[in-house]
Amino acid sequence: MTELESLLNDIERLRKNLIKLIEEKGNLQDSVIIAASQELNEAITKYNDLIIKRVK
């Protein structure tokens, strides 16, 4: 599995987890939801950075 594929798998896993947490908590300002959202954002940022490096 390439680094790109691994990141995509992580992003999908984190996205599903975030959706589950939102459904459970119902409050988007809950600290657990915010932390999960930030973790997903970091993974997406890493993915974007990797794509940019490959394009250059």
Domain assignments of the chain as residue spans, ordered by start: 3-55
**pLDDT at position 25, please?**
93
Residue 56 pLDDT > 90, yes or no? no
Provide the pLDDT for residue 16. Answer: 98
CA distance 18 to 32: 9
What does the alpha-carbon distance between residue 56 and residue 43 come to, in Å, rounded to a whole number? 20
Could you report the per-residue pLDDT of 2-51, keeping only the tens digit for each? 989 999 999 999 999 999 999 999 999 999 999 999 999 999 999 999 99
Model confidence at 1: pLDDT above 90 = no
CA nearest neighbour of 20 among 5, 37, 7, 6? 37
Among left, alpha and beta (phi > 0; psi -120 to 50; other), residue 25 is alpha
